[in-house]
Every structure is written in structure tokens, then in C-alpha cells.
Amino acid sequence: MKITEHINAAKGKTLFSFELLPPVKGHSIQSIYNAIDPLMDFNPPFIDVTYHREDYIYKQHENGLLEKVSYRKRPGTVAICAAIMNRYKVDAVPHLICGGFTKEETENALIDLQFLGIDNVLVLRGDARMADSGFIPTPGGHCYATELLQQVLDMNNGKYLYEDHEVANADFCIGVAGYPEKHFEAPNLKTDFRYLKQKVDMGADFIVTQMFFDNNKYKEFVALCRENSINVPIIPGLKPITSSKQLISLPKIFHIDIPEDLSDLVHNCKSEKEVKDAGIEWMIHQCKELVEFGAPVLHFYTMSNPGPTRKIAEAIF
């Protein structure tokens, strides 16, 4: 089923879903199952699986010269999605990203997804490689999420890169990212919002937000969307703070704001266990407010660590 169909079928009830990271190469599919099993009690209608581009390492030769070598750290998202759907009978939502993939590789992935009966995709530009100061497009690939979105929309309309034979229309339900506190590369929220509206006007079916810790940011973002005729479902992305280090790492990596009350709460904790418990309690309070507000889904960024999400879900669902 499509994400929009799941939401419509819920008839106003808030659903539970979560996102997984593919395991580091060398780990088996069991590591994915270990991350999913503790959360299946809460009946997620869908599970997201992230996509990751190649990265680079520098290999030193005996003569002292360095060779730049491309490598992939994690196995493919398409295969993981197929395994999830086969084992759990829930919809898997693969991320599609611009970086690291040519248009041909993207089309091949979409063909595989369509063949497997995967109805949903989340379209993202993706992050820069660790060694790069900013996002560098892959030669022959897409520079922007809008371009990637258009490729998926084209396939939905039966338009492939090379139409050398009769093709069938795809029928993907397409999600895009939303940033209640704006994307860090946008000069201001208004400019960032204009690009979001462009994606929805093009045909995006739902929005998943970046994580946030102040529900007012989400409520203001939803209001802004509705005032500008963006009427697709807006799914809040959520992640509890589980260590004191995240007061620095989360704003640095995800460019989000930590409310003063939350940072004071963490600073006053006497141990990392207290920090974890406080972060979970904060998120439980957030989730209760979001359910009352009418959020269609509570979508958790688990980082493949199901423990904290399970504690939160037990208090909500």
C-alpha cells in the first residue's frame, strides 16, 4: 500500500513507523531483523531504509603515493527492502538519493523496486561525502532532489531514459524531506519553503520532516504549509537524545536547535543513564502533544537501535 493509503485508512489515528540504517558491510541480514523485531509490537505499516552513497579512502602505496579509492560501506537498500517485506509483510520505503548514483543507476533501482512491488520511495538529495566540504553531484547523476523527483514522476508517466520498447507506467507514492528549521544550506526559511512547495506542486505525495525537539516548530511548519496550499500529509521525524554528546553532535550534523529547557535538563543529569532517561521522557511528552495535534504518523529515526524507540512507543501506542 501507499503511505497515503495507510494514513487515509487510519481515519485520523496516529500511526507508528521508523527508519533503519543498512548494516555496515560484513554484517548479515539478522542485524536488520534484530533492529526490527522489538518494534513490531506497535504494528508499523511501513519501515524506511536509508540509502548511502560511496565514500573515499586514501590507500598508501609502497612508493609513498596515495591512491583515492571509492568504496561502499553498507549493502544495498533495494535488497534490504525486499527482505523486510518478505519477512514482516509490511511496506518498506527505500530512500533514493542523488549523490553516488547516475540517472541510469537510479532508473535501474526504480525498475527493481517496481518489480518487487515496492510502492513508496523517499526522494532526497543526500549528504556530502565525509571528505568533501559540500555536496558534489555524481557525473551523470542529479544535482537536486527536484531533478530526482522528476525522474520518478517521469517513470510514473511511463517515460524512461531510453524508450526502446513498450514500457509500463510505474506507480510510486513519493515522499520528500521538509525542514521545520530550514535546510542548513538555504539562506532563509522562505527560500527553503519555496523549494518544498515546488516539489509538492510537481507531484510529491507526502513530507517527512527533519528531527526537531520543539513541537512549536512543527506546528508552525504545518501551518505555513497549509496556508500555502500544501495539503499533503506532513510526517514528523523524531529521535530522542540518548547521550550528553548529542547536545553537540546533533546540532552539528543535522543543523537543528536544542531547546534551552532540554539542554538544561541534560546538563543537570548526573550520569549517562539519567541523560538517556531524560531524553526519552522529553520525547514521550513531545509525542503525546503531536498525537493530540493530529500528526498522521510518528516516524522515529532509530539509527538501528530499537531500545529507546520501544520505550517511547510503549508509552504512546
- Residue 300 CA to residue 297 CA, distance in Å, equals 9
Contact 203, 170 (CB under 8 A): no
- Residue 153 CA to residue 123 CA, distance in Å, equals 11
In the sheet with 237-238, reading across from the earlier edge strand, the strands are 234-235, 206-209, 173-178, 120-124, 91-97, 46-49, 15-20, 297-301, 237-238
Q: Is 19 assigned a catalytic role?
A: yes
For cell 612508493, name the residue.
63
- Residue 312 CA to residue 304 CA, distance in Å, equals 15
Q: Which of 5, 19, 260, 281 is catalytic?
A: 19
Sign of the four-CA dihedral 220, 223, 227, 230: positive
- 236: DSSP letter: P
Sign of the four-CA dihedral 193, 199, 202, 206: negative
Q: Give start and end residues of each alpha helix (H) in 3-48.
A: 3-10, 30-36
- 102: DSSP letter: B
Contact 48, 95 (CB under 8 A): yes
Q: Which helix (H) or strand (E) holds 147?
A: helix 145-156
- Residue 155 CA to residue 226 CA, distance in Å, equals 28
- Residue 42 CA to residue 184 CA, distance in Å, equals 33
Give catalytic residues, as residue numbers: 19
